[in-house]
Amino acid sequence: MTAPMKSFRQRTAWIAWIAYPTLAVALCLGLWEALVRINDVPLYILPKPSDFLARLIADRTTVLAQAWATSVSIALGFGMAVLVAVPLALAIISVGTLERGLFPVIVFLNIMPKTVIGPILIVWFGVSPAVAVFIVFLMCFFPILVDSMSGFRATDPRLRYITRSMGASAFQTFRYVRLPAAMGYIFAGMKIGIVKAVEGVIIAEFIGSSAGLGFMIMRASSFMDMELMFSGLIATALVALVFNGAMLVAEKFLMPWNRPRHA
């Protein structure tokens, strides 16, 4: 292939990347709009896209403020989970007794549905965003912990022979070999974690928060405000999209060596 051809294709690739999904979404919404109009479905059963999209724009300051509150809860809970889970994974892997002692506890906590702790958290923290932050933390903590543990285990033991023959200290082996080798696994855990985080944060805001999109949707539900509920749904999806996108960008930035998906 000639060079100019390739660069032309590269330059136009992003247009297709945006155009196809946009077209698909527009088609779905169009079909929805048409079906609701043709069958004359009342607003309190199912609103039309034109209804809730207009509402989303009209109430954008409120929705944006609630989306911001939700995003802060996700960022705090997720950030804390990463900061605790990754070093803990390393500690568990490095100390055999820790692994034997903690592993059953981890398995137990991992299979326990995290949202059941919500009512208890309400007693502890009151109805506040702290409940949501804590549930987000619990939701993403375990996938990150478990995958980080696999990551720190992944290094070939003979690689340790090679670094020892270089006279590497334990810290050097960690910095040059074990941490970068574990990065792919840590990111895999973080990508599962962020999906769970968005799910967790909304449920937490349903039951025990005074702010956020979940709170907004729950309040709209009690007023049977279908337009606002669907606006909240769209906003939640957008928040999820932003966080997932941020993970992909961070991965590309922190792991430039990663094999391209279509290589």
Partner 1 sequence: MTTGASIVARGITKVYGSDSSAYHALGPIDLDIKPGEFVSLIGPSGCGKSTTLLLASGLEPVTQGSIEVDGKPLTKPITEVGIVFQDHLLLDFRTAMKNVMLQQEIRGLDKSVIQARAESLFERLNLKGAENRYPWQLSGGMRQRVSIARALVHDPSMLLMDEPFGALDAISRTQIRHDLEMLWLDTRKTVLFITHSIDEAVGLSDRVLVMSKGPGTIVEEIKIDLPRPRPAHLGEYPEFTKYANRIYSIFEKLGVYKFK
Which residue stretch of 14-22, 129-137, 151-159, 188-196 sits at the interface with partner 1 (rule: CB under 8 A)? 151-159
Among positions 23, 35, 159, 170, the unique one binding partner 1 when judged by CB under 8 A: 159
Which residue stretch of 27-35, 49-57, 121-129, 159-167 sits at the interface with partner 1 (rule: CB under 8 A)? 159-167
> Of residues 175-214, which lie at the interface with partner 1 (CB under 8 A)?
176-177, 180-181, 183
Which of 11, 158 has the CB closer to partner 1? Answer: 158
Which of 17, 176 has the CB closer to partner 1? Answer: 176
Which of 12, 169 has the CB closer to partner 1? Answer: 169
What track of x and - describes contact with partner 1 for positions 97 through 136 (by CB under 8 A)?
----------------------------------------
In the complex, least distance from residue 247 CB atom to partner 1, rounded to whole angstroms: 18
Among positions 148, 163, 209, 236, the unique one binding partner 1 when judged by CB under 8 A: 163
Which of 39, 165 has the CB closer to partner 1? Answer: 165
Q: Calculate the CA 189 to chain-centre distance.
A: 10
Distance set, CA 201 to CA 31, 59, 108, 193, 207 (Å): 31, 22, 22, 12, 10
CA dihedral sign of residues 91, 96, 100, 101: negative
In the complex, least distance from residue 96 CB atom to partner 1, rounded to whole angstroms: 17
**Amino acid identity at 178:** R
Query: In sequence order, what DSSP letters do the residues of 167-233 get, joined into one string?
Result: T--HHHHIIIIIHHHHHHHHHHHHHHHHHHHHHHHHHHHHHH-SSSHHHHHHHHHHTT-HHHHHHHH
In the complex, least distance from residue 119 CB atom to partner 1, rounded to whole angstroms: 45
Which of 3, 263 has the CB closer to partner 1? Answer: 263
Q: Which residue has the tokens 């999820």?
A: 240
Distance CA 149, CA 199 (A): 24
Among positions 1, 42, 158, 223, the unique one binding partner 1 when judged by CB under 8 A: 158
Which of 2, 165 has the CB closer to partner 1? Answer: 165
In the complex, least distance from residue 178 CB atom to partner 1, rounded to whole angstroms: 10
Residue 162 engages partner 1 in binding (rule: CB under 8 A): yes
128 DSSP 8-state letter: S
Burial 74-104 (b: 16+ CB within 10 A, else e): bebbbebbbeebbebbbebbeeeeeeeebee
> Of residues 223-262, which lie at the interface with partner 1 (CB under 8 A)?
255, 257, 259
Q: Which residues contact 196 (CB under 8 A, 6 or more apart)?
A: 139, 140, 143
Tokens read off for 253: 């930035």
Q: What is the contact surface with partner 1 in residues (CB under 8 A)?
A: 156, 158-159, 161-168, 172, 176-177, 180-181, 183, 255, 257, 259
